[in-house]
A and B are shown apart, each in its own frame.
Chain A
């Protein structure tokens, strides 16, 4: 079983739509959680950390459910520039475990 599982998508949405996706993780001892964004042929970039109480960063909202070992990301009012692969990332000690990514394509 993979440590982090994600729906690969793709999610194709029109500009202005809301899109949400999630991931699950297997290590109950995981300590911190992140969403990274990766554009084609570029490096992963930290989008946001995910806190137990849930957190927002502009149009992005992340939620964490430790009991179900489930993390979600919601993008409101999506922009063309949101098109990317979103990586769910889980930290246990120093080690980051990456999901395979969810591809989002926002169309005009």
Chain B
């Protein structure tokens, strides 16, 4: 069974540009999570979806960040406009119980 799939794996962009990160959860999992990891702040939960519905977006840093889950097999995290402080690794995780399984992450660098 394929794990969580994320794309792109690496993204380098200039400040002010729009960035879209993509995630395909594990088939049959009904919960999806977006995290951000930095050296300074560790792993932070950005948003949580259950059955494609956003349940908790309190971790989304500001209005520049938005996330969607149009169906059970796809989610996007968009940053517009991007800023250098958004540079981090963004992980998507999925679950069907308490255990979460992480994708390989997208390493974002904003210059």
List residues of chain A with CB under 8 Å of any chain B CB.
31-32, 34, 42-46, 49, 87, 91, 94-96, 98-101
B99 in the interface, Cβ–Cβ < 8 Å? yes
Asked if A46 and B99 make an inter-chain contact with CB atoms under 8 angstroms apart, the answer reads: yes
Contact of B56 among A31, A32, A95 (CB under 8 A): A95
Known contacts: A32-B98, A94-B31. The answer to whether A43 contacts B91 by CB under 8 A is: yes
- Chain B neighbourhood of A98, CB < 8 A: 42-43
Total B residues in contact with A, Cβ cutoff 8 Å: 18
User: Do residues A34 and B99 form an inter-chain contact, with CB atoms below 8 A?
Assistant: yes
B48: Cβ under 8 A from any A Cβ: yes
Q: Is the CB of B50 within 8 A of A43?
A: no
Enumerate 25 A-B pairs (CB-CB under 8 Å) in ascending A order: A32-B98, A34-B98, A34-B99, A42-B104, A43-B91, A43-B102, A43-B105, A44-B91, A44-B102, A45-B102, A46-B99, A46-B100, A46-B101, A49-B99, A87-B43, A91-B98, A94-B31, A94-B48, A94-B50, A95-B45, A95-B48, A95-B56, A96-B33, A96-B45, A98-B42
